[in-house]
């Protein structure tokens, strides 16, 4: 997943505008900025081969 | 006994022992706790719902049973409070969200069933940040009313610290048990992921949510853990007397703590070594930085999923921080969420063997003492261990110059609660923290 923080932030802002409108997207700017940094970290961290998702098949959603 | 005989200050183990021998009755204990609540609640504000009538009825039944030599279990007659995201049959669950949640469930959470079966007296519901996230609750820190008790389990930590009750249940998604425990000078124990049922508890982020315990001693935490998991803690060979092997966590947390906490950690580390603890510095691998980011990504995505319907209908009724988390989380592309879960798994594979080398790993439970009440404090010291589902326990270890408590945390490998609690008891006994907040 080779996306820069700036690209990720643009994706988040575009999605937020579609879902919540321009005014609310402006209000969300600090949260989206923090999230973009975390997503960039997640996207650029190398993983061992064949790492499976976890914590998603043995949980109690809605419990 | 007088009204100020100190009964409300007894630990759960001590009170339970007196009840077993007939030296103390459940009603006397409950009434002492209620008097302390009456004294401190106007300042602290720990409670949402206090079920005096129901608790007294239960205590009278338990009194009668005790007089006939019948004891339901380890918690016979012990008053307990619950974070207000945990369902109690017949009492409203607000989740700290006055805008919506105000219905009374018709059955107990599984954890509550276990407490009742062991003889606990369920006293009521304790304050939480809205939906157990980041908007601060109105509760104040018993040590200094102008400081936060932490969050999100604010009422649970404050009530135990103020000696209103010997124990309370809370929860932890990122740092909501360890951090408030440290800020309030009590023991906060978050066992391994999945070890205590979350059925009947309003979720924050289901793959990160844990039930947490607040007590005043490590022994009490072990007793409640045994009850809630229906397990019997085995005596570890090193229990309380044999000095543990401790990993002193360095990078990436060594420089993140406040100077007062860094100095405190150095003092405690030296004292523990002087008592014979075998201490070895443990720098965590680089993947921990990615784990911190992954925990935030997973939490926000799952918060958005949990609240999607409620948010669609009532967005403007949420408080600002949780609303922002829901809306930002709803924008996370699915591949990023899945990759964040992969990072958690990869980090767990790397970190668990490191944790297994030690009886416990030691680091601050929070960056420093409790900050002002505008926030609930920084949960990043707890986040990696929530992220891999490892057990953690916060132990109060001293006071800062301003009189606020400082707490360190011990971390164990997933499933290694017995070994972790033995190390924590050893540390607790050597440090000997006995200070109390004003008015107790």
Q: What pLDDT, on the 0 to 100 scale, is given for residue A62? A: 34
Q: CB contact, 8 Å: B49 with chain A?
A: no
CA distance B360 to B356: 8
Site of tokens 């523990």: B272
Which one is catalytic: B152, B153, B171, B386?
B152
Which one is catalytic: B176, B192, B240, B386?
B176
Residue B171 known to be catalytic: no
CB contact under 8 A, B346 and A47: yes
The pLDDT tens digits for B251-306 are 899 889 999 999 999 999 999 999 999 999 999 999 999 999 999 999 999 999 99
* Alpha carbon separation from B308 to A61, B320, B429 (Å, rounded): 13, 16, 47
Nearest CB to A41; choose among B289, B327, B346:
B289
Question: Phi/psi zone of residue B150: left (φ > 0), alpha (ψ -120 to 50 degrees), beta?
Answer: left
Average pLDDT score over chain A: 85
CB contact under 8 A, A19 and B327: yes
Average pLDDT over every residue of B409-423: 97
ipTM of this complex:
0.93
Q: CB contact, 8 Å: A1 with chain B?
A: yes
The pLDDT tens digits for B355-388 are 999 999 999 999 999 999 999 999 999 999 999 9
Contacts of B288 in chain A (CB under 8 A): none
Q: What pLDDT, on the 0 to 100 scale, is given for residue B98? A: 72
Residue B176 known to be catalytic: yes
Which one is catalytic: B83, B125, B129, B380?
B83
The pLDDT tens digits for B212-221 are 999 999 999 9
Residue B319, token pair as written in the block: 């408080």
CB contact under 8 A, B206 and A58: no
The pLDDT tens digits for B24-58 are 999 999 999 999 999 999 999 999 999 999 999 99
Nearest CB to A61; choose among B206, B290, B339:
B206
A-interface mutation test, from B288, B293, B346, B350, most A Cβ less than 10 A away: B293
State the number of CA atoms in the 13 A half-sphere of B375 facing the CB: 7
The pLDDT tens digits for B72-111 are 999 999 999 999 999 999 999 999 997 666 678 999 999 9
Q: Is the pLDDT of residue A32 over 60?
A: yes
Q: What pLDDT, on the 0 to 100 scale, is given for residue B100? A: 67
CA distance B158 to B181: 8
Average pLDDT score over chain B: 95
Q: Is the pLDDT of residue B2 over 50?
A: no
Contacts of B85 in chain A (CB under 8 A): none
């Amino acid at each position: 997943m080779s996306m820069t923080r700036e690209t990720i932030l643009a994706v988040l802002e575009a999605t937020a505008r579609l879902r919540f409108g321009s005014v609310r997207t402006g209000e969300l700017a600090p949260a989206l900025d923090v999230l973009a940094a975390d997503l960039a970290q997640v996207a650029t961290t190398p993983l061992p081969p064949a790492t499976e998702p976890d914590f998603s098949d043995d949980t109690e959603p809605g419990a | 006994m007088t009204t100020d005989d100190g009964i409300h200050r007894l630990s759960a183990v001590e009170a339970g022992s007196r009840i077993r021998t007939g030296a103390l009755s459940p009603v006397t204990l409950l009434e002492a706790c209620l008097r302390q609540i009456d004294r401190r609640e106007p300042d602290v504000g720990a409670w949402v719902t206090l079920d005096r009538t129901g608790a007294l009825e239960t205590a009278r039944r338990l009194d009668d049973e005790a007089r006939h030599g019948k004891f339901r279990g380890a918690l016979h007659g012990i008053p307990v409070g619950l974070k207000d995201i945990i369902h109690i049959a017949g009492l409203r669950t607000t989740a700290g969200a006055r805008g919506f949640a105000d219905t009374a469930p018709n059955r107990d959470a599984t954890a509550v069933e276990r407490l009742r079966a062991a003889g606990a007296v369920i006293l009521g519901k304790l304050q939480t940040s809205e939906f157990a996230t980041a908007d601060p609750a109105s509760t104040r820190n018993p040590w200094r009313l102008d400081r936060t008790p932490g969050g999100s389990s604010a009422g649970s930590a404050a009530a135990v610290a103020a000696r209103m009750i010997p124990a309370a249940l809370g929860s932890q998604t990122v740092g909501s048990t360890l951090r408030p425990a440290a800020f309030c000078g009590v023991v906060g124990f978050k066992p391994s992921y999945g070890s205590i049922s979350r059925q009947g508890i309003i979720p924050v982020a289901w793959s990160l949510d844990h039930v947490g315990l607040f007590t005043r001693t490590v022994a009490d935490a072990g007793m409640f853990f045994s009850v809630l998991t229906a397990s019997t803690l085995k005596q570890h060979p090193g229990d309380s007397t044999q000095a543990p092997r401790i990993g002193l966590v360095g990078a990436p947390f060594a420089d993140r703590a406040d100077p007062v906490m860094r100095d405190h950690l150095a003092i405690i580390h030296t004292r523990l070594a002087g008592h014979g603890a075998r201490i070895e510095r443990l720098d965590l691998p680089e993947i921990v930085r990615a784990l911190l980011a992954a925990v935030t990504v997973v939490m926000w995505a799952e918060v958005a999923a949990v609240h999607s319907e409620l948010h669609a209908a009532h967005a403007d009724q949420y408080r600002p921080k949780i609303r922002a988390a829901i809306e930002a989380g709803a924008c996370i592309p699915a591949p990023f969420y899945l990759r964040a879960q992969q990072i958690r798994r990869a980090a767990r594979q790397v970190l668990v063997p490191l944790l297994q080398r030690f009886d416990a790993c030691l680091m601050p439970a929070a960056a420093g003492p409790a900050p002002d009440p505008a926030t609930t404090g920084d949960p990043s010291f707890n986040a990696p261990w929530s992220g891999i589902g490892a057990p953690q326990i916060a132990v109060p270890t001293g006071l800062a110059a301003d009189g606020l408590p400082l707490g360190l945390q011990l971390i164990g490998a997933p499933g290694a609660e017995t070994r972790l609690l033995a190390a924590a008891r050893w540390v607790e006994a050597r440090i000997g923290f006995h200070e109390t907040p004003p008015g107790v």
